[in-house]
């Protein structure tokens, strides 16, 4: 029988109120609180603390606090990338960050999916869908990226957009929902 953590990692329905997952979440929040406090005025100098919180990201990733995440362990990549103030990444499924990303302030990246059936939703279970952002992208301020979305390489997502569907390489997308406005090449 799978643990709730194993179910979460497999993309299956799981309970986030499981003791092991709640402990992982609590530890992440302890590191988040410490990072936000200590790195607020020196995010370049607190990389070792960021590595504890996000062990699967590239050492060159820079995040300007405040920053929030659920677990940290499911956030990957981010080589030579910058995440600005107020980013929230709910990493209940893998979140893959490409190289050379610019992520604007107050961007929200949400992997959790709650059941559509209200009775099932009332039990507190959920699942997560992976999100991937390609290389050389610019995600404008206030963008919301929804579960299961892939944003291709070299894309620009306009400020305030809500990305609910995949965006192909070399696209400028904007709006709610975000749609491709033009090709960038």
Catalytic machinery residues: 114
- Strand 75-77 relative to strand 144-145, pairing: unpaired
Distance of CA 165 to the CA centre of its chain: 16
- CA angle (8 as vertex; 88, 106 as ends), nearest 5: 5
Beta bridge mates, 87 = 67
Q: Using CA atoms, how far apart are residues 64 and 53, in angstroms rounded to an integer?
A: 14
Distance of CA 61 to the CA centre of its chain: 13
Q: From residue 161, give the alpha-carbon distance in Å to each of 71, 103, 154.
A: 25, 13, 17
Q: Using CA atoms, how far apart are residues 100 and 134, in angstroms rounded to an integer?
A: 9
């Amino acid at each position: 029988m799978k643990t709730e953590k194993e179910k979460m990692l497999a993309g299956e329905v799981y309970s986030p109120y499981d003791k092991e997952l709640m402990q992982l979440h609590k530890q992440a929040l302890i590191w988040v609180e410490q990072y936000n406090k200590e790195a607020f005025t020196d995010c370049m100098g607190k990389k070792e603390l960021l590595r504890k919180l996000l062990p699967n990201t590239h050492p060159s990733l820079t995040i300007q606090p405040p920053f929030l995440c659920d677990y940290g362990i499911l956030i990957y990549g981010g080589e030579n990338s910058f995440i600005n103030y107020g980013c929230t990444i709910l990493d209940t499924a893998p979140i893959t960050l490409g190289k050379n990303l610019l992520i604007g302030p107050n961007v929200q990246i949400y992997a959790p999916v709650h059941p559509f059936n209200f009775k099932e939703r009332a039990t507190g279970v959920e699942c997560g869908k992976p999100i991937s952002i390609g290389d050389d992208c610019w995600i404008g301020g206030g963008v919301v990226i929804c579960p299961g979305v892939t944003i291709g390489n070299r894309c620009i997502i306009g400020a305030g957009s809500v990305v609910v569907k995949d965006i192909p390489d070399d696209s400028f997308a904007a709006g709610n929902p975000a749609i491709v406005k033009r090709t960038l090449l």
